[in-house]
A and B are shown apart, each in its own frame.
Chain A
């Protein structure tokens, strides 16, 4: 019997992460489903998804704003004794404020969660992935803000731009171990996080810049993540792919 491939997804309990979880479940991957808070509904959901698709899903909980929790998370991942093929760094937080109105605490928090601890976590997981046979890769979920540097999103944009930068470096360093590293920069996507942090007038303004004139669905990001983790993309490395409906 062929061994299933294993994907580790962070921020898997909602929004884009949940759509990625569902996509890989349908594709018969075993999944390490990480999210920040212990959540019974999510655990039950993972059980149902696992049964339906005849796969293993391991829900794990740790918060990216705490290095101690990440360390504990890494140890729990090691205890699973599985070989990880793909890492999807999707966890992230957002804040909206103009440059002069940005508090130092927000600056620190956003960079800690969206960049510094992603860096730290990836150091650990990529070391484990070195020993995995077969196809393997990392997909970092950045944002179109990381490329367009939207007004009112200075810290968020900078943190997401940092992920694009580190992905490019990693794609070069990890290629020695046949680990491909790519980034996705989603545009306006229909998630709770987007709705809770974006004013309606801003959404309208953004939509005017989208050729397709609609908000994207989380599944449309998940499809591209899956593509980047399949052999269909075996020669794609170190790239940032915008999935934004044609934003201009």
Chain B
């Protein structure tokens, strides 16, 4: 599975959304992506990509697009 597929899968397993919604998805845009949902998503991404996200990056992770840039810092190219 490619990094992009894994990345999308983390979102799709964390929130009840469709793949078409992902590209423009932002934090707090849907009820489920609140601070609690965010923890679940971060946990999922850490597991999938075998990384440990810093707290600053977790706080900055504000959208589907921003997340791609953050993961680049961990050598995960999406």
- Residues of A in contact with B (beta carbons under 8 Å apart): 71, 74-75, 78, 120, 123-124, 127-128, 130-131, 173, 176-177
Contacts and interface: CB of A to CB of B under 8 A. Distances in A.
Chain B binding surface, main DSSP class: helix
A131 B43 contact: yes
The 10 closest A-B pairs by CB, nearest first: A130-B43, A176-B36, A127-B43, A131-B43, A131-B47, A130-B40, A74-B52, A127-B42, A127-B46, A123-B55
B39 interface: yes
Contacts of A128: 43, 46
Contacts of A173: 35-36, 39
A78 B49 CA distance: 12
Interface in B2-33: none
A127 B46 CA distance: 9
Interface of B: 35-36, 39-40, 42-44, 46-47, 50, 52, 55
A74 B46 CA distance: 12
7 contacts: A127-B43, A128-B43, A131-B43, A131-B47, A173-B36, A176-B36, A177-B39
Contacts of B44: 131
Chain A CB count within 10 A is highest, among B39, B40, B42, B50, for B39
B5 to A, nearest CB: 19
Contact of B39 (A74, A120, A127): A127
A76 to B, nearest CB: 11
Nearest to B53: A127
A124 B43 CA distance: 9
A75 B43 CA distance: 14
Contacts of A130: 39-40, 43
A75 B53 CA distance: 11
A71 B44 CA distance: 19
Nearest to B45: A127
Contacts of A124: 52
Contacts of B42: 127
Nearest to B54: A71
A133 to B, nearest CB: 13
Contacts of A123: 55
A177 B52 contact: no
Contacts of A127: 39, 42-43, 46
